[in-house]
Amino acid sequence: MVDIVTRTAKGSPLTHAELDGNFTNLKAAVETAVADHYAAAVLADVPHAYWRLNEAYGATTLADSSGNGRDATSASTSQQYPALGAGRIARYMGSSGMFSMPASAAGFADTGQFTIEVLARFDASGATYSQIFGIGIAQSSVTSGIMFIWRSNSPCARLWSASAAMVEPVVPFSLPLYEWHHLALVYDGANLMIYVNGSVAVSVAAASYMTAAVRSVGGMGKDNWGDPSATGHFSDLALYSSALSASRIALHARLAAGASA
């Protein structure tokens, strides 16, 4: 329960300005609590790396909130943007991408299972390979890679290795621009799935995955092939060395949208 004070300590009514101040403080407290609930749920699932992307304007080092010390290096200062109206700050990603992750973060998929999770607000349609996130080796000797892509107005992905055929699930519907979405790309060792706002939008059988022998550093909004980045605002990118369950992803999506549980 939250008490809203309407009288001073001496019992006299508060002025309009004082009332406005109380409601402003209450709103800020509620928004902060919502954002913290989401972060707590992410951390409870033990991410390999978790960049909240809430640094002040001009920051070029983006902190890893997982506790694993995998800070990322920003490609540009990026502008801040309020995310989801829930006390969360997003960063803008344009043609230059957003950041390069450190080498220590590149092994998140080495277990043969992984999850990539992000909050996204797309501000333009994507090209064929507009990157949300990418990792793989250089184009001259491609033997494996993971791409999380914004193509036209739908999320899609690519997963391949030297030992298995490439798979490319595409969400079979468009997402509206300028609206926030919770997205997750999940590989459970047998299937590659894309979740949109807590529900599976597409799933394909997949036998290929990254291994330590062939991976290389990638990042958000960029890959090792020079493809363009997705254009929009993004927050709370998390990488996991496990396939999050459907129930956990649904919970994350609810919390991202502002629910308390």
Which pLDDT tens digit goes with each residue over 138-156? 545 557 889 999 999 999 9
Contacts with 1 (C-beta within 8 Å, 6 or more apart), sequence order: none
Q: Which residue has the higher pLDDT, 21 or 188?
A: 188
Rg (CA), the chain: 20
Span 206-229, pLDDT tens digits: 987 777 766 778 899 988 788 899
User: Quick check: 33 pLDDT over 50?
Assistant: no
User: Quick check: 15 pLDDT over 90?
Assistant: no
Q: Kindly list the distances between the CA atom of residue 51 and the CA atoms of 48, 78, 179, 220, 261, in Å, as whole numbers in the listed order.
A: 10, 14, 21, 10, 22
In whole angstroms, what is the distance from residue 47 CA to residue 79 CA? 26
Q: Which residue has the higher pLDDT, 25 or 65?
A: 65
Q: What is the mean pLDDT of residues 105-112?
A: 89
* Domains in the chain: boundaries: 27-256
pLDDT recorded at residue 78? 65
Second-level CATH architecture of 27-256? Sandwich (2.60)
Of 91-95, 130-134, 158-162, 251-255, the one with minimum mean pLDDT is 91-95
Q: Which residue has the higher pLDDT, 211 or 237?
A: 237
High-pLDDT (> 90) share of the chain, %:
53
Q: What is the mean pLDDT of residues 17-42?
A: 59
Q: Which residue has the higher pLDDT, 31 or 172?
A: 172
